[in-house]
Amino acid sequence: MTTSFNDNLDLAATAEKLADSAPTGSIRHAAAKSVAITFATTRDLSEARTALGGLTPDEVRRAALELFSEISGTSA
């Protein structure tokens, strides 16, 4: 699935809402913030997925990739 930059901004807003609802300092909060920033600063899903693959620590990367799949409707 290919999205436009505007679609990525919509996905970023969704991720930001998830981050806002997660406890500060939690893995879910860190992952959702990372996904929101990544969607907001990339052109398409492929670029976003590639960027998220470089996150550390591992547990945040795994959680972020799960959220990526959940929000984008694709598999990480």
Q: DSSP per residue over 49-70, as a string?
A: HHHHTT-SSHHHHHHHHHHHHH
Cβ of 75: how many Cβ atoms within 10 Å? 8
- The DSSP code for 76 is -
Whether the model pTM is above 0.85: yes
- The DSSP code for 39 is H
Question: What is the rounded radius of gyration, in angstroms, for the C-alpha atoms of the chain?
Answer: 11
Q: What is the pLDDT of residues 10-64, one digit of tens each?
A: 999 999 999 999 999 999 999 999 999 999 999 999 999 999 999 999 999 999 9
Q: Rounded to whole angstroms, how far apart are CA atoms 54 and 38?
A: 11
